[in-house]
Amino acid sequence: DAGITQSPRHKVTETGTPVTLRCHQTENHRYMYWYRQDPGHGLRLIHYSYGVKDTDKGEVSDGYSVSRSKTEDFLLTLESATSSQTSVYFCAIKGTSGRGDTQYFGPGTRLTVL
Amino acid sequence: LAKTTQPISMDSYEGQEVNITCSHNNIATNDYITWYQQFPSQGPRFIIQGYKTKVTNEVASLFIPADRKSSTLSLPRVSLSDTAVYYCLVGSSNRDDKIIFGKGTRLHILP
């Protein structure tokens, strides 16, 4: 398995509190991604990064911010969590092989906002 | 990324061969076709990738016709453990940073 971990794996929080999820890789890959997955919606891209301090928005970026201060870590922050952000969050990494898009996913973080 | 279309769901029986077709009419010259498999409560995992003709690995085969406007993922002799969601993506590392998944095909294997 690709060296990618997520923390925490589970979190319960209350509406209005800030939450930060961490994705850590040991592969030195350039690209990192945050997705959320909800029943009926499949995987939806929140934000992604194409290098240290280089990030861009995905499909559902409202209410989320990200930071990447070093290659191995990509943080996802919910500034003020809402119940609609209850979801499973997956981080992914991708190398640049010059071929197709091959991503490797972390184990996921299950977030519940009460 | 080229848009892809695949069936929402499929049912099959243990021991059968399952073929899932993906349409990608606007595939670009440099695009590769990649399939992922996702089990419940896990992240998607890469299963196979191809550019043209046929690719086979220990898990599946991928058939791509000459015009590359579609592809077929073939799972030989499926078992209950092959019940999962299968995603087809089309793109190129040289062109696409933003990787967006569709809803995939929910495959249900029956005993």
Q: Say which residues have a Cβ less than 8 Å from residue A6's Cβ, sequence separation at least 6.
A: A21, A22, A23, A24, A89, A90, A91, A106, A107, A108, A109
What integer pLDDT is reported at residue B98 of this predicted model? 77
Q: Are the beta carbons of B37 and B109 closer than 8 angstroms?
A: no
- Between A102 and A4, residue with greater pLDDT: A4
Which pair of structure tokens corresponds to residue A27? Answer: 């592969």
Residue A96 pLDDT: 62
B45 and chain A: CB distance < 8 Å anywhere?
yes
Q: Both tokens of residue A88?
A: 């499973």
With the C-alpha atoms ordered B75, B10, B86, B43, is the resulting torsion angle positive or negative?
A: negative
Contact by Cβ (8 Å): B101, B6: no
SS3 A76: strand
Distance CA B29, CA B45 (A): 25
Provide the residue ranges of all domains of chain A, joining segments of one domain with +.
Answer: 4-113
Q: B94 pLDDT exceeds 70?
A: no
**Which CATH code for domain A4-113?**
2.60.40.10
Q: How confident is the model at residue A60 (pLDDT cuts 50, 70, 90)?
A: very high
Segment A84-113 shows an average pLDDT of 87
Token output for A43: 């995987």
Confidence of residue A44 (pLDDT cuts 50, 70, 90): very high
Q: Name the residue of chain A whose CA is nearest to B86's CA.
A: A42
Question: B63 CA to chain A: closest CA distance, Å?
Answer: 16
Which pLDDT score, from 0 to 100, does residue B100 have? 81
Q: Are A42 and B89 a contacting pair at CB < 8 A?
A: no
pLDDT tens, residue by residue, B47-76? 999 999 999 999 999 999 999 999 999 999
Residue B84's nearest CA partner among B19, B17, B21, B37 is B37
Q: Quick one: average pLDDT of B33-38? A: 94
User: With 60 as the cut, is the pLDDT of residue B95 above it?
Assistant: no
Residue to test with chain B: of A32, A41, A101, A102, most B Cβ within 10 A: A101
Domains of chain B: 9-110 (2.60.40.10)
A114 pLDDT more than 90: yes
Nearest-CB residue to B100 (from A59, A90, A104): A59
Q: Does B88 touch chain A (CB under 8 A)?
A: no
Distance from CA of A15 to the nearest CA of B (A): 24
